[in-house]
């Protein structure tokens, strides 16, 4: 009997001057970056939460608290690698991830194939198992005012 589980993740970070913009494990050329304790890669944080939620392992803040110096400025790919290790320790494998980035700027679509490649490498899954989409908020709310970026993800995990 196969055990399938689905998890959902959501995250948001403020755009700010003086920071690099990391999204999906790659650095984007943009004049602002996302504010956060780590590199603030909102897409990876969202995927971590979706995976952790599916495995009933709480959330990213529980495992990698923003009060810990160990995670200050950390590359979010490290958090994703550790998340995948937690899942596999519990006997789960990743079926697929479906994520959406919501940003007015910069345009995300040109970078999606590179993000998919990087995430597939970090997670040890086929690139076809990672779907990333991009949208805007039609100039509404804090994303529409170019104050921040949000991301959403669902993940399917399984064990036999």
pTM (two decimals): 0.96
Q: Which domains does the chain have, with CATH numbers?
A: 3-159 (3.30.1330.50)
The answer to whether 45 is annotated as binding is yes
Nearest-angstrom CA–CA distance, 8 and 100:
12
On average, the pLDDT of the chain sits at 96
The answer to whether 23 is annotated as binding is no
Q: With 70 as the cut, is the pLDDT of residue 144 above it?
A: yes
Residue with tokens 């919501």: 102
39-86 tens-digit pLDDT: 999 999 999 999 999 999 999 999 999 898 888 989 999 999 999 999
The answer to whether 13 is annotated as binding is yes
DSSP per residue over 7-57, as a string?
A: EEEEEEEEEEET--EEETTEEE--SEEE-SSS---HHHHHHHHHHHHHTT-
Q: Rounded to the nearest 10 degrees, how much is the dihedral formed by the CA atoms of 47, 50, 51, 52?
A: 120
The answer to whether 60 is annotated as binding is yes
The answer to whether 12 is annotated as binding is yes
């Amino acid at each position: 009997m196969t055990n399938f589980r689905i998890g959902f993740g959501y995250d948001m970070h403020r755009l700010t001057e003086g920071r690099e913009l990391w999204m999906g494990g790659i650095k984007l050329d943009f004049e602002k970056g996302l504010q956060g304790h780590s590199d603030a890669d909102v897409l990876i944080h969202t995927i971590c939460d979706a995976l952790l939620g599916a495995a009933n392992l709480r959330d990213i803040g529980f495992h990698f608290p923003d009060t810990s110096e160990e995670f200050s400025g950390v590359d979010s790919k490290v958090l994703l690698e550790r998340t995948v290790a937690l899942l596999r320790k519990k006997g789960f494998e990743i079926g697929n991830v479906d994520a959406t980035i919501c940003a007015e700027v910069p345009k995300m679509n040109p970078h999606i194939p590179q993000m998919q490649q990087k995430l597939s490498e970090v997670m040890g899954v086929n690139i076809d198992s990672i779907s990333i989409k991009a949208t805007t908020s039609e100039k509404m709310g804090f994303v529409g005012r170019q104050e921040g970026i949000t991301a959403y993800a669902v993940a399917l995990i399984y064990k036999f």
